[in-house]
Amino acid sequence: MRVLVIRHSTAVDPYAAATDETRWLTEAGRRRIRRIGKLLATEAPPTRIFVSPLVRAVQTAEALAAEVGLDGPIEATLALAPDHGTTAQVTALLDAVDPRETVALVSHAPKVRVLAGHLAGESSIPGFRTGSVCAIRDGAFEFWVDPEGPRILRDLSSIPL
């Protein structure tokens, strides 16, 4: 199974929204995730998406699904929300997925670092900028998408902080 651990794209300042849960993507954030989606459409298109229920994560997942041509449902789960759920709850979601699928997990910092490290068997994962993607295949690090490019990086030590 391939798992794409994705930090939501760039959202509005926390003071612009009534609550953290309702923060939405900026126009730059929408453009960023569309560029990343185009890259993933050729490199590793997800066949299933699990997402935190917070607005900025859902908008990221929806834009990603549109770019890769995913018609299936986007499944919201509290396990991917910032102050809810555990790594075990997220991996339980993956246990029910066909191992031939590519699954995207759209979440928040610092949860994305913990999930990526756990799933890739790495003791340290670099910081995730908004829109970063860590691809893990069969329990090992496969590649990283640097959202500033976007570009594919295949060595953890080359990932910009």
Q: Please give the CATH number for the structural domain made up of 2-158.
A: 3.40.50.1240
**Has residue 160 got a pLDDT over 80?**
no
Domain ranges of the chain: 2-158
Look up the pTM and report it: 0.96
Name the average pLDDT for the chain: 94
Write phi, then psi, for 28 (nearest 5 degrees).
Answer: -65, -40
**85: helix, strand or coil:** coil
Give per-residue pLDDT as tens, 45-62.
999 999 999 999 999 999
pLDDT of residue 159: 83
Residues listed for the chain: 161
Query: Which pLDDT tens digit goes with each residue over 71-84?
Result: 988 999 999 999 89
Q: What is the sign, positive or negative, of the torsion defined by CA atoms of 129, 12, 62, 55?
A: positive
- Using the 8-state DSSP alphabet, how is residue 129 labeled? P
